[in-house]
Structure 1
Amino acid sequence: MTPPNYPPKPRPGDRVAVVSPSAGLPAIFPHVYELGLRRLREEFGLEPVEYPTTRVMGADPRERARDLTAAFADPTITAVLATIGGDDQITVTPHLDDAVLRANPKPFFGYSDNTNLLNHLHRLGIVGYHGGSVLVHLGRPGRPHPLTFDSLRAALFTSGWYDLTPAPEWGDRPGDWRDPASLAHEPEMLPGEGWRWQGPRRVVEGRAWGGNLEILHWLMAADRVPPVEALAGSVLVVETSEEMPPATEVFRMLRNMGERGLLTASPAVLVGRAKAWDFEKPHSVEERREWAEAQREAVTRALAAYAPDAVVVFDVDLGHTDPQLIVPYGGEVRVDAVERRISVRY
């Protein structure tokens, strides 16, 4: 197996692209977006460069692909950051110029609907970074979360191994962006209970692949996931979005992945903490615990059928909850079930 292709890292003072390959929500929530840009400058010392569709809702997929391609082609740009996710990036990636991406690999940061681009880069042999967004994480109300920013800083600027840390507190109930005053108040947080481990006590090393479960299911339907043989030995990373698919659907999506052989290929699985609150589903704390437990049971049932010997870690902070840790997509991951430790190489 060829070594993973980690793109060169930016340095403080560099120009970085800020793009909206999915939803152009900076157009609707400029106050959140501007806070994120300010922190990108002040906390990380990076100069954001916008593209024509960055602040446009409903931009043509070909125009969004043009901006992405331009960001990778520009020699003065050293990293590419997504503003947020969305639901139609699957229509954007077919219009990318893969020759340009291969010739100019750069660190790309995004999650959720950006699973499309992370998977696309993975198929081109380029390591991306699952996590980080200008609105959600750089624009977090109140103050940046220290775990998020420490992980993001390490992923942006360093290339060594980094230990992921269980969050001492977590949240999935964001403020209402429609109210600019909400940016003054930190989101509600709940006590952390650590990671939950299942499976054999052994150490697994592999390259990360996966992302948002709903998007992975769409990618399977579009026949855009890598062949099973290319994923053999991968550490599967899965998480669910604010659309909060019920446990039954989570099981079915994983079952479909299992029927394709994608679960058997993975000796270790990292499962993001399930988001269990949304404005349309304002669950109580107890309801959120019950929702998360049902999600864990659904994942356990699917893996028992298709990957019974896998090391499984639940409630890793790598998805749609707060804080968020960065995982190198296509990069190296070590899952140590003996010492109960997860390390990633940025």
Structure 2
Amino acid sequence: MTSELIRPPYLKKGDTVAIVAPSGILKNREREVQQAVDLLKSWGLHATVGKHVFSKANHFAGTDAERCEDLQKAMDDPTISAIWCARGGYGTVRILDKLDYTKLKENPKWIIGYSDITALHNQLHNQGFESLHALMCVSLTKDISEVQESVDTFKAALFGKPKNYDLEGSKYNREGEAKGQLIGGNLTMLHTMLGSDTSLDTSGKILFIEEIGEYKYHIDRMLQSMKRAGYFENLKGLVVGDMSKLRKNTTLWGTSIEQLILDALEEYDFPIAFNMPAGHEKDNRALVLGREVELKVGKDKSNLHFK
């Protein structure tokens, strides 16, 4: 039996959201950050931008100390109701062990992002918090209608009405039903956390994965490594999001990405649902990580419902 996690208060008009950049550099992304501020204001919220969001230190949005300072300040500030990560890329793992969750436990708040932010989601889960896998500031396009589903489901989750999802069917779906806490995120980041205190205990839970820019053999290698580490042993279900911009090797893999995943996990009997619109595409729907969900998988359709 998994324990119920801390659920931060849902947002209401007048609340304040802090925008921070714990990962990659935000070069020439002022427009997206301002658009994020304007979007929050249109919802009746206030916005504050971290001191170091536009700082530059090689690959990163400031030094490790600067990025950690912005995130820690937002976590500790009782006037902040949510923390929205501006972008992913790489860098969150470098500051994980510097963070202190003492004041966050006194004043829980939603922490939002995806991709590299998976590392932070994992740590939040292990610290006992729900968190929000959703679009980031740099996801916003000039024509916001291009990312409308992402924006709408993000807003709904923030204000306490997370959407249930009825997914398109797939001939690759492995049928079945499961209940458990939803965990996961970017596959590379989940794999990176193996062997550390930030790795997830997947027992009795439902795992979500997504990926971008990888070769199929890289994905298989990660799944095989995770399998050898016991990652899937007591898993209740798997939800597969977008597998975007997969790279082609000179020697072709020979099967679809869906079949690759099924083959890697063939010895398990938990249900597997494909076609979850979440990940590195414009349609990146919000998922409340740590929340109890019910998963029903059929060939013609699947359902992912939040409790």
TM-score normalised per structure 2: 0.89
The one-letter amino acid of 1:299's match is I
Match among 245, 262, 267 for residue 300 of structure 1 = 262
How many Å separate the matches in 1 of 2:204 and 2:254? 27
Q: Is the aligned partner of 1:314 residue 2:274?
A: yes
Runs ≥4 in structure 1, deviation > 3 angstroms? 290-293
In the TM superposition, residue 296 of structure 1 has moved relative to its aligned partner by 1.5
Equivalent runs, 1:321-336 vs 2, <5 Å? 321-336=281-296
Is the Cα contact below 8 Å between 1:246 and 1:295 reproduced in 2?
no
Residue 215 of structure 1 aligns with which residue? 189
In the TM superposition, residue 273 of structure 1 has moved relative to its aligned partner by 1.7
Residue 342 of structure 1 aligns with which residue? 304
Aligned-residue CA RMSD (Å): 2.3
Residue 38 of structure 1 aligns with which residue? 38
How many Å separate the matches in 1 of 2:51 and 2:257? 39
Residue 240 of structure 2 aligns with which residue? 271
Equivalent runs, 1:84-123 vs 2, <5 Å? 84-123=87-126
Q: Is the aligned partner of 1:24 residue 2:25?
A: yes
Residue 149 of structure 1 aligns with which residue? 151
Secondary structure at the counterpart of residue 226 of structure 2: helix
How many Å separate the matches in 2 of 1:295 and 1:114? 24
In the TM superposition, residue 149 of structure 1 has moved relative to its aligned partner by 2.1
In the TM superposition, residue 259 of structure 1 has moved relative to its aligned partner by 0.9
1:101-160 residue CA offsets vs partner (Å, 9 max, x unmatched): 322221111000000110110010000111121111xx223223332122111110015x
Is the Cα contact below 8 Å between 2:207 and 2:239 reproduced in 1?
yes
Secondary structure at the counterpart of residue 235 of structure 2: coil
The 10-residue stretch of structure 1 (96-105 or 107-116) with the greater mean CA deviation from structure 2: 96-105
The one-letter amino acid of 2:261's match is V
The alignment of Structure 1 onto Structure 2 pairs a total of residues equal to: 296
Secondary structure at the counterpart of residue 150 of structure 1: helix
Residue 253 of structure 1 aligns with which residue? 222
In the TM superposition, residue 210 of structure 1 has moved relative to its aligned partner by 1.4
The 10-residue stretch of structure 1 (292-301 or 205-214) with the greater mean CA deviation from structure 2: 292-301
How many Å separate the matches in 1 of 2:169 and 2:56? 38
TM-score normalised per structure 1: 0.79
**Which sections of structure 2, spanning at least 5 residues, go unmatched?**
none
How many Å separate the matches in 2 of 1:45 and 1:203? 39
Q: Is the aligned partner of 1:63 residue 2:66?
A: yes
- Could you say if the C-alpha distance between residues 57 and 259 of structure 1 is closer, same or farther in structure 2, counting changes exceeding 3 Å? same
How many Å separate the matches in 2 of 1:204 and 1:258? 20
Residue 126 of structure 1 aligns with which residue? 129
The 10-residue stretch of structure 1 (147-156 or 99-108) with the greater mean CA deviation from structure 2: 99-108
Greater helix proportion: 1
In the TM superposition, residue 319 of structure 1 has moved relative to its aligned partner by 0.6
Secondary structure at the counterpart of residue 239 of structure 1: strand
Between the two proteins, what is the percent identity of the paired residues?
25
How many Å separate the matches in 1 of 2:230 and 2:45? 41
Match among 182, 188, 198 for residue 173 of structure 2 = 198
Residue 12 of structure 1 aligns with which residue? 13
Q: Is the aligned partner of 1:51 residue 2:50?
A: yes
Q: Is the aligned partner of 1:2 residue 2:19?
A: no
How many Å separate the matches in 2 of 1:315 and 1:344? 17
Residue 172 of structure 1 aligns with which residue? none
Secondary structure at the counterpart of residue 243 of structure 2: coil
How many Å separate the matches in 2 of 1:96 and 1:292? 44
1:68-105 residue CA offsets vs partner (Å, 9 max, x unmatched): 12112111111110011021211011110122232222
How many Å separate the matches in 1 of 2:156 and 2:24? 27
Secondary structure at the counterpart of residue 121 of structure 1: helix
Is the Cα contact below 8 Å between 1:276 and 1:292 reproduced in 2?
no
Secondary structure at the counterpart of residue 82 of structure 2: strand
Is the Cα contact below 8 Å between 1:9 and 1:79 reproduced in 2?
no
1:269-290 residue CA offsets vs partner (Å, 9 max, x unmatched): 011121127xxx7x9xxxxxx9
- Could you say if the C-alpha distance between residues 146 and 302 of structure 1 is closer, same or farther in structure 2, counting changes exceeding 3 Å? same
In the TM superposition, residue 64 of structure 1 has moved relative to its aligned partner by 1.5
How many Å separate the matches in 1 of 2:305 and 2:89? 29
